Amino acid sequence: MNDAADTIVVTNDATARTYQATLNGEVAGTLIYEVEGSRVVLTHTIVEPSDREHGVGSALVREALDDLRREGKTATVMCPFVTDFITHNPEYADLVDHEHPGVPYRK
């Protein structure tokens, strides 16, 4: 996970359809998505190799899923990292769209 000195900040750029994570002020990762009505398709999570194992990917996914919950939207998950995140954090499983779940996740 991240050290106390590491600061991850996640922002949503709705125009670019990305969540960006900065780690100590430097871009460390991106989550790419598409919007389909009340459903958001989470397509890719990318973390810089030097920033892996610092919690960047998890911070990106958590922020995106928390936003979906606040906005009353569901997710179609096409990204295996997001699938694994939801598997390990089942409190987010209810956000997966029942008609269009995407990549199968393990309950």
- In the prediction, which pLDDT does 40 show? 98
pLDDT by residue (tens digit) across 38-53?
Answer: 999 999 999 999 999 9
Q: What residue spans of the chain are helical by DSSP H? A: 56-71, 80-88
pLDDT by residue (tens digit) across 77-103?
Answer: 999 999 999 999 999 999 999 999 998
Q: How far apart are CA 31 and CA 93, in angstroms?
A: 18
Q: What percent of the chain lies above the pLDDT cut of 90?
A: 87
| Residue 1 in this model has a pLDDT that exceeds 50 | no
Q: How far apart are CA 11 and CA 14, in angstroms?
A: 9
The topology under which CATH files domain 8-95 is Aminopeptidase (3.40.630)
Residue given tokens 């100590």 in the structure block = 24
**Domain layout of the chain by residue ranges:** 8-95
